[in-house]
Structure 1
Amino acid sequence: MPVFLHISTTQLILRGNYLQVVPAWSFQKSKHLKRLDLSNNLLRIIERGAFAGLAELTYLNLRTNKLASNSLHEKIFQDLISLQNLAIYDNLFNDEYTFLQVEISRVRSLNTLGIDLRDRHQINKCLCDLSKLKDLEIFGMHREAYSDNSFNELKCLKIEALSLERVVSLASDTFISFSTLKTLRISIMSRLADYDTIDSIFKSFKVFKGTNMTEISITSNPHIYGFVLGHRHFAVLQEICLQKLNLMGDSILGIQLGPFLKYGYKENCLEELNIDLMFGQQR
């Protein structure tokens, strides 16, 4: 850790420095630190008391490291009483997601969380303690499909923004637990996607029928599974009071004019539409 930190330092960016350990009392001279970025390192150990004194810290980024269950001590985040944004995805917790989520649940000030969700693991009900949590970023189910079983413990929270990364497939009931959702961003895992990925995503939107939403975004559908945006897609969208639709980088081969015009003519809430076609034309 840097030894030159001054008490007036409010932002510290240490990403990509091959750091392996965060020693105890690393930031004791920077009690006014508000943003700390330790992402893209090789962190394996965060010593007890590493974050001691950081009562004003609001943002902590620990993503893309080598952290595992034995890397963290119990109540590792207890000194971060002002923390609002925590990113801790793309690490090596494997079968110890419950331990990690219990530790995160102690940070009652959180409103934004980025976390892994892999294979059979689910969101634990302990996260219900995060009553201020509004923005949730989930990274990586790999070969598994997201479903309501992945998120049914989140009915206790009022999540307004949800980002799903590395999506391969969505079950039709995936979003049932998100009754207050306003913004949904989906990034497809191109390497594992198949011809049915896009259709599964649009079918999952049917649960939003009659609701008001600010934004739906889908990105990264692979070229090999390019598709024509048509009736089955617009039929779902026109049932949602949606302000912004973003379909960029999705290998859209074309747009069926009839359904598109019908969607445009029908009274809806759309204010912004971003679509790019696979062959370079934009609408």
Structure 2
Amino acid sequence: MSHGRWCGMCHRDQRSMGLKNKNNEKENKASAKSGETKERAELTQQDAEPAVKRCPQCRMAILDAGETCPLCHCVLEEPDEEGRAKIHAMYGNASPYPDVRRKQRWARFALRLIFFIMFIAAVAMLVINRYANPGFKWSVIAVAGEIYAYSLLVYWVKHDSGFAMKIGLQLLLTIAMLYLIDRLTGDYGWALQWAIPGVILLGDLVVFFLMMLNRSRWHSYLVLLIVMGLCSVAIVGLYFAGLLKNGILAMICVAVTGLFLLATFIFGDRKITMELKRRFHI
């Protein structure tokens, strides 16, 4: 075989191999595109259908992409196709479980920011009061007001207690705040004679409206009524001890709170008894 014929055959073989390689590349690209299309379809189907998991301990279906149960924090299991179909048929495509941790992080950040601002303001007021007007300690009243406001804010945001506990704490802090202001402004006695009994009467009115609005749980405000009654009796005791000049509003406060408590015990019947046993174990 001559050298020319050999080169021609080699050239034809190379061309045929090149065509085969090109065809293989086209087939690979086509298969890759089809694979991507299938993956996209699967992802679209997964996005359309919410994640379904099951808690083995609570035996509860979780329509969310979380890894743990929101109740018992047990690791969730993924059901099979039959179980998934049953869950979807029973519950449908519900909304995912809300992510409360994000709101909690924002709440903690907001509380820290407020504390930082209040701290700077308190230091500034103390310094100004010390050098500008040392005769009257107005900065102590302002700082006490900041502590009062921040304590209420933290308690309302972080604690899951009911309205009765939160309102009771607010009333007690208000009473302490008014007494402190009275002491720092000359101790004229207006806090114990007028302001604090007025706050207690306002608390009675608030409790009455809360009982009317929440009739199924009206007995849960009994402890708050008892606390306000004890505060009223304490103010009247100060009057009879000669520490107060005028006890008219304190007497009215004791009468109103006492009648409120008496009516609650008379008409409350079994619910009041159960509430006392639950609260005081009596």
* TM-score, structure 1 normalization: 0.24
Flag the structure with higher strand content. 1
Flag the structure with higher helix content. 2
Larger Rg computed on CA atoms? 2
* TM-score, structure 2 normalization: 0.24
